Structure 1
Amino acid sequence: MNRNFWITALIAFVNSLSFTILIPIIYLYGKQFGLTDFQTSLLFSIYSIAQFFATPVIGKLSDRFGRKPLLIISLAGTVIANFIAGTATTAWVLFFARFLDGITGGNASVAQAVISDITISQKRAQAFGIYGAAMGLGFVLGPATSLLAQQISLGAAFLASGGVAFVALLMTILFLPETLQQQAQKPKNIFDLGLGNLIKGLAMPGIGILLLINFFTGTTFTMFTYAFQPYFIKVLGQNSQSLTLLFLTFGTLAVIMQTWGISILKGKFDIVKILFLGLFFRSLSFFLMPIWANINYFVIVSILFSLFNSLVQPMISTLISLNAKAEDQGTVLGLNASYLSISNGIGPVIAGMIVQQSQPITYGYPLYLAGVLTFLVLGFAIYNRQRYTPRNS
């Protein structure tokens, strides 16, 4: 891996750190503005919906004008949005800030396009694995940073997130060169910004089926994430400190698997089989988690989950990249991030319709459902494998 790859991985780490600082506090921050539970949930959905429409546009523009300028614009949007949110005095300003962060939030797909530009196809699975590990490390340190910022105020967590994103912005400006070697052809219609690709992408050979698989896996995964924390605290009787330790374990194991683990597995299996392996154990883990309400049992299953869950997203990104033309990398990876974004808004809604706060045991029901549905996604992926398996995987 060359210097530009490690710079991109470092930017990905800083960017994920910025994002995960906000995860523990958005709900509580919304409550400070007098929002109802439903209104607070819209703070999550408005970000995901805005990102759903924005990422294919940003991806396509990065194919046309280069990776660096679009990465700069996207990161700058996050900096500004979090500063606005952290200093907001009314609810509508907070909603505007979340919308702005979502509409400019295509930096992950552009960073993935940079990796596609600078790595050969044979090394791409390992590269996306390391990239995922860098983001995973951010997911470990983000909540811890958030806890420190919350000692000042919840708004300070947004300001801290914006400050971290500003570091990533400076790194991009100062150290990351342009990596796009061949610009996409200029469209006849200058207003063609890629929104039509949200539909057209589903018909792309080798790409459309992977977009569907990623959408389904994202939906089932966010069903799990919705129920996981309240199940851990209310059903297993744990506290926020032990939850933080479990997140630390998740992140550490994911980093190990996405760096060394993928390299080892690549010597024994092809990319598609590694994806199947990840989906199978993700499904099994979801189903096993709520069977026995015992903390030791839950931790063991969670370790199994963390190891194999970390394989799924890097393999899907790798397969999408390998199936796309060089000049379309930003476009297709933007579509991938876009469909993943909208799934982030759907999964919690489905899970929320199942659980009842008055009956904590119901927090296990979305875990069962996520396990069953993920197994169906695995069957769907196996059945359609010939439609997306690249020759050089």
Structure 2
Amino acid sequence: MTAVAPEKRKAALAFIFVVAVMDILSMGLVIPVLPPLIEQFTGSPGSAGIWNGVLVALWAGMQFLASPVIGSLSDQYGRRPVILISCVGLALDWVLMALAPNLWWLVVGRLLGGLTSSSFTTVYAYMADITAPEHRARAYGLIGAAFGGGFVIGPALGGLLGEFGPRTPFWVAAVLSGLTALYGWFVLPESLPPEKRMTFSWARANPFGAMKLLGRHRELTGLAGVNFLLYFAHHVFSAVFVLYAAHRYGWGPGLVGLVLAFAGVLDMIVQGVLVGPLVKRFGDRAIMVVGLFGGALGLVAMGLAPLGWIFFLTMLPNALWGLAMPTLQSLMTRRVGDDEQGQLQGANMSVASIAGVASPLFFGWVYSISVGQGAPVPHPGAAFVIAAGVLLLAAVIGAVTNRRAEREESATV
């Protein structure tokens, strides 16, 4: 852990929290208006749906390519310049999209957005720099709670701003990102001292080279597999939730927005309040597995829920899923040195990006063959049930990996 003065550490933690909220908030702002803007350029709802999927895939693909580069750059030049430049880049991205005269400007904007959003890797590395290993799960839980807060506020605010025009939320998102960069310029200290830095290398910074780091240790490899499956299962929501809720329960956009807001509140409670005390009592490994099993239970219940109010209740066990991510991150950071935290987070983001490209396509296909007359899989909730199976597999891998790691540690004592 890097020695940062207590007053500067508090300011840094506040800024990292703000970065997390603002990044997700600014992204959430444009969710209600981006598809209609795409439809304006394409001229048809069908084409808009296809292009919206393409833009999501481009964003995730750029993260796959850029995340290890961004993480490795932060290992050489420090976390502060990378985070601040990314904030400025994200502001410019929103300006570009606000001014977009055609679809191709949006394509460029999504590529730039995927590049600048890769700073998430440096945010996690920064937290690892200034937080003792035994406290990292709680720290990552606070970041997760910030993400949840941004997700609650963003889409709702974007919908209101969209009433003033489809480009208004983009301008507001640009201002928020710019103000975040200005705020960080004055309050964010560097967390990685020169003596702990690592020279940039393309062998480590390319996505596949970065992921070699994940194969160095048996526990790290197993946890990387858990990370991939966790993200793969999670994308069932972005792929089919809105369609599923409308088809099965007749929910409109307003009710869907309220349900998503409720999910965000639950996530904030779990990651911001429960993670710290539970990890202190039971340990990272046990809480990670409990979170994965809880998420799997919630997903299968969602897929089988015959009524909307039952689906709503299934969000309670599903919220336990929030216990898994911060504890998973905490366990992985303990297996690498201070000079490799950026590379680790870049590799993790690349793994998540692969899931972000493949999972929506897969679950979208599953949903397409599970609805309508004569559907090959005659159950509209099939995608959620399959996602539950994926998360259950992640829980089993996590449990086995933890058991092996505990044996190795006990043997060395």
* Structure 1 length-normalised TM: 0.92
For the structure 1 residues 163 and 223, does the alpha-carbon distance in structure 2 shift closer, same or farther, using more than 3 Å as the test? same
Residue equivalent to 1:371: 388
Q: Which of 283, 286, 289 is residue 296 of structure 2 equivalent to? A: 283
Q: Tell me the SS of whatever aligns to 1:293.
A: coil
Equivalent residues of 1:227, 1:363 under 8 A apart: no
Residue 248 of structure 1 deviates from its aligned partner by 2.0
Which of 164, 170, 175 is 1:158 aligned to? 170
State how far apart, in whole Å, the 2-side matches of 1:354 and 1:328 are: 38
**Of 106, 111, 116, which aligns to 1:104?**
116
CA contact (8 A) 1:320 1:333 kept: no
Per the alignment, residue 230 of structure 2 pairs with: 217
Question: What is the rounded CA distance, in whole Å, between the counterparts of 2:154 and 2:237 in structure 1?
Answer: 20
In the aligned structure 1, how far is the partner of 2:153 from the partner of 2:49? 27
Letter in 2 for 1:374: L
State the shift of 1:268 in Å. Answer: 2.9
Partner of 1:344: 356
1:228 aligned partner, one-letter code: F
Q: Mapping of 1:56-67 within 5 angstroms?
A: 56-67=68-79
- After TM superposition, the structure 1 stretch with the greater mean CA deviation from structure 2, 55-64 or 265-274, is 265-274
Could you tell me which of 111, 115, 134 is aligned with 1:122?
134
Deviation at 1:386, TM superposition (A): 4.7
- Any residues of structure 2 matched to 1:1-393 within 5 Å, and which? 2-34=10-42, 35-181=47-193, 182-186=195-199, 193-205=205-217, 206-306=219-319, 308-356=320-368, 359=372, 363-386=380-403
Deviations 1:263-282 (A, max 9, x none): 22123311011111111011
The alignment's TM-score, normalised by the length of structure 2, stands at 0.88
Structure 1 residues 32, 96: CA separation in 2 closer, same or farther (over 3 Å shift)? Answer: same
Structure 2 residue identity aligned to 1:332:
L
- Asked whether the 8 Å contact 2:225–2:394 carries over to 1, the reply is no
2:57 and 2:357 in contact (8 A); partners too: yes
Deviations 1:344-393, CA, capped at 9 Å, x for gaps:
1211100111223962975422111101121112112222225666969x
Task: Write the distance in 1 (CA, Å) between the matches of 2:254 and 2:316.
Answer: 18
8 Å CA contact retained: 1:110, 1:333: yes
> How far apart in 1 are the matches of 2:57 and 2:293?
29
Q: Distance in 2 between matches of 1:172 and 1:123?
A: 24
* Cα deviations by residue, 1:13-40 (Å, 9 ceiling, x for unpaired): 1122112223343333322210443233
| Unmatched runs of 5 consecutive residues or more in structure 1 | none
Secondary structure (helix, strand or coil) at the match of 2:304 reads coil
Structure 2 CA distance, aligned partners of 1:388 and 1:194?
29
Contact 2:148 / 2:268 at 8 angstroms: preserved in 1?
A: yes
Q: Number of aligned residue pairs: give it.
A: 390
Cα RMSD (Å): 2.3
| Amino acid paired to 2:311 | F
User: Could you give the per-residue CA deviations for residues 165-203 of structure 1, whole angstroms, max 9, x where no partner exists?
Assistant: 22221122121111112442325x678644443441331
Question: Which moves more between the two structures, 64-73 or 332-341?
Answer: 332-341
Give the conservation status (yes or no) of the 8 Å contact 1:45–1:345.
yes
The answer to which of 209-218 and 110-119 deviates more is 209-218
Render the CA deviation track for 1:92-115: whole Å, top value 9, x for unaligned.
111011111112322211111111
- Residue aligned with 2:282, SS: coil
Structure 2 contact 204–343 (Cα < 8 Å) conserved: no
Q: Mark the CA change 1:290 to 1:37 in structure 2 (over 3 Å): closer, same or farther.
A: same
Deviates more, 1:58-67 or 1:11-20: 11-20
Residues 31 and 40 of structure 1 are in contact (CA less than 8 Å); yes or no, is this contact kept in structure 2? no
Structure 1 CA distance for aligned equivalents of residues 305 and 114 of structure 2: 38
More displaced 10-residue stretch of structure 1: 114-123 or 255-264:
255-264
Superimposed CA distance per residue, residues 273-295 of structure 1 (whole angstroms, 9 cap, x where no aligned partner): 11111110111111111213212
- Asked whether the 8 Å contact 1:29–1:154 carries over to 2, the reply is yes
| Percent of aligned pairs sharing the same letter | 24
Contact kept? 2:303, 2:383, Cα under 8 Å: no
Q: Which one-letter code corresponds to 1:76 in the other structure?
A: V
Provide the C-alpha distance between the structure 2 equivalents of 1:191 and 1:335, rounded to a whole number of angstroms.
13
Whole-angstrom CA distance in 2 between matches of 1:363 and 1:70: 44
2: CA distance between counterparts of 1:50 and 1:67? 20
2:71–2:345: 8 Å Cα contact kept in structure 1? Answer: yes
One-letter identity of the residue aligned with 2:68: P
Name structure 2 gaps, 5 residues minimum: 1-8
Deviation at 1:3, TM superposition (A): 3.2
Q: Are the equivalent residues in 1 in contact too, given 2:207–2:347 (CA < 8 A)?
A: no
CA separation of 1:190/1:48 partners in 2, compared to 1, >3 Å: closer, same or farther?
A: closer
Say if 1:362 and 1:39 are closer, same or farther in 2 by CA, change over 3 A: farther
Determine if contact 2:292/2:395 at 8 Å carries over to the other structure: yes
Query: How far off is 1:12 after superposition?
Result: 1.4
Structure 1 residue 303: Cα displacement:
2.2
Larger mean Cα displacement after TM superposition, 96-105 or 155-164: 155-164
- Residue identity in the other structure for 2:90: T
